[in-house]
Amino acid sequence: MASALKQVAAGDTVSLQAGLNDLLTLDMAVTELREVNATLQTASIETNDDSWQILNPRGSHAVAVGLDVPIKVIVKGSTGYYCAGMNKQATVHVEGSVGPGVAENMMSGMVIVDGDASQYAGATGHGGLLVVKGNASSRCGISMKGIDIVVHGNIGHMSAFMAQKGNLVVLGDAGSALGDSIYEARLFVHGSVKSLGADCIEKEMRPGHLEILSDLLVRAGADADPTEFKRYGSARKLYNFNIDHAGEY
Amino acid sequence: MEHTHPTIPRQSWTFSNEINSEIRRAASSGIYDIRGGGAKRRVPHFDDLLFMGASMSRYPLEGYREKCETNVTLGTRFAKTPIELAIPITLAGMSFGSLSGPAKEALGRGATLAGTSTTTGDGGMTEEERGHSKLLVYQYLPSRYGMNPDDLRRADAIEVVVGQGAKPGGGGMLLGQKITERVAGMRDLPVGIDQRSACRHPDWTGPDDLEIKILELREITSWEKPIYIKIGGSRPYYDTALSVKAGADVIVLDGMQGGTAATQDVFIEHVGTPTLACIRPAVKALQELGLHRKVQLIVSGGIRTGADVAKALALGADAVSIGTAALVAIGDNDPKWEAEYQKLGTTAGAYDDWHEGRDPAGITTQDPELMARLDPVDAGRRLRNYLNVLTLECQTLARACGKSHVHNLEPEDLCALTIEAAAMAQVPLAGTNWIPGQNGF
Ligand SMILES: Cc1cc2nc3c(=O)[nH]c(=O)nc-3n(C[C@H](O)[C@H](O)[C@H](O)COP(=O)(O)O)c2cc1C
């Protein structure tokens, strides 16, 4: 294993070890968060800075945020809030669990969490794919705007609140008030749903939906039969204020 | 038989014509009244304060000869690139969607000509605005409509909106009539539906979380941009202290009279702390933390004249921000459209159904024909003129108090005309040394 000292962003020197699979390493036991993010944000695929591992994340917040290059980042451990926030293009793989707001406002790319995710996973995401191999807590996919989310386990209450666009796939069960005040997002749940929120109803699963679902299951490495899922979406009764529906809020 | 004299008809004060008409409106529609603008009731305000001016114990500066500086730097606490303004007046965040593209362009042009910043709003950043604003503050709102890292990096500062003076604790509302394809596209929602902006952020609650959220925003933007926190006038002492704790570079404090694009009238008129009453508690919090002038304070809500600007600064603000006044400057509620206001059942000066999108002045609308009535170049010039007048008036008052920088104005330059204003602004009632609430009285 060779180790090298390389000049990176902003003239800082970071020790980069070219590992077995050509992984460049950022060790948070010795490297500050600012340097970790600045290095990843300015990494370049042209110079083969495309595969990274982050050691000792130790629950740090805002790890690997604001990336906008098609690089791969493996996080060896668990992170705090907002891991991979506003991600574009990059693939961030957390080999641990994540705190609140993982992949919040993601635009594109992919975020994979091997463990569990805390509240607001994928909140307001505009694009890309978020995969949680464990469970996700409450408000998963809140206000989602085009992101796709696949949760292998269960999700907590108030998930997909005001969800606007995109797909949320749950292989386990969903908590109470699923899809409250939902707009045009599609929700696919394999297990039980404790309760549906205001204006969210079960909807017919048509061939087009099965296609979307099958594709997401494959991309998320999930082994499940798409025909066993139920689809939920908006009844569209609260889209324009109507006094006769005021009691439903 | 002697004739009995009738009494003149007497209208109830409790059940005034205004109140009765609201009861009839509610009974016929079944829904609360939604409108734009700020509180219409009178509350203690800057008009209730006077500058005492210079005399034997203070000497003034010569109005046309001696300098009185007006520049202000915002974001000196943590940001690598603070904002430098020529004048202590900024343009408040007003959403694209509530305002037309040409109106946003006019605000950008006017602000840039006057050497100050403008602010986006709910619904995201438009090219009209970015392109015509030298300094643009990008709002980070609960709805996150149009939020993306590229615009975050194109901004000169980021404003995390916690609340607005018109509706502390309330979310936003853009009714279907104004949701055109462009507006809907920017918000990732279908055309023509009502758009409710949430009242809380989706991925944090409370100042401890906000501190981490701000860390994330700084990490995404390389710690370059000043981060503002905007709060509605509510509990200004605590809200300011907690904003400092959460890591704000700048605090925007919007008093109860502050304007809104569309909110329930009951919310506008009955929730919040008046602007006059917000400033001293906020300044006190900053002073106790040793951060007055280090974390800058921008005050808004009912700022109309250079006197208002000067009084807000004298009470300790670093700058003020304007919304409604800027709209009036570019042509909102102009009597030249009176015939059309009449057709809408209102009159110039009272038109506030901004959410309906039928604004004769072409400002609070998405209707292409109405929008075309506003020439952004001409409107931008009017805004520049107005901002210049505010600045000149503020300087005039500052010189009269002997100040070579508008920031040197201080509470000691002021007295109050009413006991209420004296108590809220914590300056003496005119002709006395009595500040209600101090020294046990
Ligand atoms: C038409 C209009 C739209 C507004 N939109 C927003 C908004 O999107 N976000 C926000 O924080 N405040 C918004 N505001 C409030 C202003 O930023 C500001 O707080 C207020 O207008 C200040 O009070 P003033 O109007 O008395 O100057 C809006 C105000 C108006 C008049």
With respect to residue A171, please indicate whether it lies within any of the assigned structural domains: yes
With respect to residue A156, please indicate whether it lies within any of the assigned structural domains: yes
Binary contact (B31, A243; C-beta < 8 A): yes
With respect to residue A12, please indicate whether it lies within any of the assigned structural domains: no
Q: Does B275 contact ligand 1 (Cβ within 6 A)?
A: no
Q: With cut-offs at 50, 70 and 90, classify the pLDDT of residue B63.
A: confident
- 3-state class (DSSP) for residue A244: helix
Residues 6+ away with beta carbon under 8 Å from B224: B79, B80, B81
CB A234 within 8 A of CB A165: no
Binary contact (A100, B219; C-beta < 8 A): no
pLDDT in tens, B289-321: 999 999 999 999 999 999 999 999 999 999 999
Structure tokens at A134: 């464990």
Within 10 angstroms of residue B197's Cβ, the number of other Cβ atoms is 21
With respect to residue A27, please indicate whether it lies within any of the assigned structural domains: no
A215 is in which domain, residue-wise? 51-237
CB B105 within 8 A of CB B122: no
Q: Does B259 contact ligand 1 (Cβ within 6 A)?
A: yes
With respect to residue A182, please indicate whether it lies within any of the assigned structural domains: yes
pLDDT in tens, A77-102: 999 999 999 999 999 999 999 999 99
Residue A75 pairs in a beta bridge with A54, A94
With respect to residue A99, please indicate whether it lies within any of the assigned structural domains: yes
pTM of the model: 0.95
User: Which residues of B have a CB under 8 Å from any CB of A?
Assistant: 29-31, 143-144, 147-149, 152, 175-176, 187-190, 192-194, 196, 198, 202-204, 209, 212-213, 215-216, 219-223
Which H or E run contains B247?
none
pLDDT of residue A18: 46
Distances (CA, A) of B124 to B121, B136, B174, B199, B266: 6, 12, 14, 17, 27
Exposure string (b/e) for B158-178, b if CB count within 10 Å is 16 or more?
bbbbbbbbbbbebbbbbbbbb
pLDDT in tens, B93-120: 999 989 999 999 999 999 999 999 999 9
| B140 vs B95: CA distance, rounded Å | 12
With respect to residue A17, please indicate whether it lies within any of the assigned structural domains: no
| B178 vs B210: CA distance, rounded Å | 32
| Residue to probe by mutation, ligand 1, list B35, B94, B147, B305, most atoms within 8 Å of CB | B94
DSSP sequence for A217-231: HHHTT----GGG-EE
Reported residue count of chain A is 249
With respect to residue A28, please indicate whether it lies within any of the assigned structural domains: no
Q: Which residues of A touch B215 (CB under 8 A)?
A: 61-62
State chain A's mean pLDDT as an integer.
91
The reply to whether CATH 3.20.20.70 applies to domain B34-425 is yes
**Count of domains in chain A?**
1
Q: Which residues of A touch B209 (CB under 8 A)?
A: 81, 100
| B346 vs B365: CA distance, rounded Å | 17
Q: Which atom of ligand 1 is nearest to the CA of B252?
A: 19
Region of residue A166 (left: phi > 0; alpha: psi -120 to 50; beta: else): left
CB pairs under 8 A between A and B: 101
**pLDDT over 90 for what percent of chain B?**
90
DSSP sequence for B267-319: HHHHSS--HHHHHHHHHHHHHHTT-BTTBEEEEESS--SHHHHHHHHHTT-SE
ipTM associated with this complex = 0.93
pLDDT of residue B400: 97
pLDDT at B411 over 80: yes
CATH number for the domain that contains residue A130: 2.160.20.60
- Of the candidates B34, B12, B37, B6, the one whose C-alpha atom is nearest the C-alpha of residue B326 is B37
Distances (CA, A) of B357 to B99, B198, B366: 9, 21, 6
Amino acid at A88: K
